[in-house]
Amino acid sequence: MTVSWISWPTLFHICILLCANGVVPKQFQLEPLNSTVLQGTDALFRATVDGNWSAITWTVGQNLVYVVTHTTVNETKGQYSSRFCSRGDTSCVEFIIHNVSRSQSGPVICYVLGEYGSKTAHLYVQENGTVSIMGGDVTVTQDQQVEFECVTTTWFPAPTVSWKRNGQVVNSSLYNTTIMMDGDSFNSTSVLKFQAVSNTTVECQATVTALLDPQSSSVFLVVVPKPPDWTVLIAVVVSFGAFALLVLLIIGIIFCYKRRKEKQPSYQDEMRRVRTQSQISGANTAGQSQGQVNRGYVPEGRTSWISTSVTPSELTDNGDSGYKIPDVVKSNQTGNAYNTVDDSGFKKHRHVTIV
């Protein structure tokens, strides 16, 4: 027990006197014995005294800050005030610390003058800071790995960070939280990773024990359908296209080979063609000989009959001691034309070849 304005020797002396006289101190209740509040809020303690009391003192830390009497109840002194728990009930007195600060964390001592003694409670002041998911809303493709970073600043003590997806608590194995001390407060960074499947509301929460509702920040994850995998389709199309081209190429080669083979004559056909051409050439040669040879041709300057191809029977008497020599050329064309021989007995004749 610590009281700033009463020395330990004095208290020890009072205790000896009480024990010697066989007087047992009267009881009173102080609650709560442990109070955790947020900075800037009010801290309340309640003292319930059995019997009559004259004064109650309150010490915060090491400083006596307020004295309660029946006449000073409901008074406010700076940051402190007191009141009865209910109207007309003087046995219960409340002590309020307004706008509490972290410097006021520590013991709160209630001392009831007389035979009651004192009791000590403990005040814990916490501070909530800020929480924010970095980057805001995110749009990704389906099945893509996404990462969210939640940052908390100026908290005391270090906050507890958790995540939710569409209102469902995320397993702690899916995120990692790092806590750093900054002066007399704490900052933290929490990173959440998961695979995007559908549109999701992502929420980061930070809290301390004095905070009734967690402080949170949320963003929206938009998941767009994954574009089709053209690689597989292209591979299939290329494969089928290459196969089709190969088939067409093989068919084309076979077709060209057959056409070439059909156009290439066989040995029998070639021999037949050679014989046919030989027969045609022989016929042309015979025809040219019949049309070009003039059996009545006599070279110029000759005075005697030199053609052995004309028989004497083919010569006819024309009554003038001359002979007619058949005009073989014209004879071949008309059948009975003859040339007349001159006075010397022969006719000059030039050979004409008709092709």
pLDDT digits (tens, 9 = 90+) for 269-326: 777 777 777 777 766 555 555 555 555 555 555 544 444 444 444 444 544 444 454 5
Higher pLDDT, 303 or 228: 228
Which of the residue ranges 82-96, 128-142, 220-234, 327-341 would you say has the lowest mean pLDDT?
327-341
Domains of the chain in sequence order: 8-126 (2.60.40.10), 130-224 (2.60.40.10), 292-340 (no CATH)
Q: Is the pLDDT of residue 213 over 50?
A: yes
Percent of residues, the chain, with pLDDT higher than 90: 48
Which residues have a Cβ under 8 Å from the Cβ of 106 and sit 6 or more positions away?
Answer: 60, 61, 122, 123
For 214-283, give the DSSP string: -EEEEEEEEEEPPPP-HHHHHHHHHHHHHHHHHHHHHHHHHHHHHHHHHHSPPHHHHHHHHHHHHHHHHH
> Using CA atoms, how far apart are residues 60 and 107, in angstroms rounded to an integer?
6
Higher pLDDT, 247 or 258: 247
> Using CA atoms, how far apart are residues 6 and 15, in angstroms rounded to an integer?
13
Task: Give residue 267's pLDDT.
Answer: 63
Higher pLDDT, 125 or 342: 125
pLDDT digits (tens, 9 = 90+) for 264-279: 656 667 777 777 777 7
> Using CA atoms, how far apart are residues 161 and 331, in angstroms rounded to an integer?
134
Helix (H) or strand (E) holding 9: helix 8-21
| Euclidean distance between the first and the last CA atom of the chain, given in angstroms as a whole number | 158
Q: Is the pLDDT of residue 21 over 60?
A: no
Tokens of 60: 């915060």
pLDDT digits (tens, 9 = 90+) for 166-188: 999 999 999 999 999 999 999 99
Which of the residue ranges 171-175, 194-198, 205-209, 225-229 would you say has the lowest mean pLDDT?
225-229
Q: pTM value?
A: 0.57
Task: Give residue 276's pLDDT.
Answer: 78
Which residues have a Cβ under 8 Å from the Cβ of 93 and sit 6 or more positions away?
Answer: 46, 47, 49, 56, 68, 73, 82, 83, 84, 85
> Using CA atoms, how far apart are residues 112 and 119, in angstroms rounded to an integer?
9
pLDDT digits (tens, 9 = 90+) for 41-95: 999 999 999 888 999 999 998 899 999 998 888 889 999 999 999 887 889 999 9
Q: Is the pLDDT of residue 252 over 90?
A: no
Look over the chain and give the mean of its residue pLDDT values, rounded to a whole number. 79
> Using CA atoms, how far apart are residues 341 and 297, in angstroms rounded to an integer?
12
> Using CA atoms, how far apart are residues 289 and 355, in angstroms rounded to an integer?
9
Task: Give residue 129's pLDDT.
Answer: 94
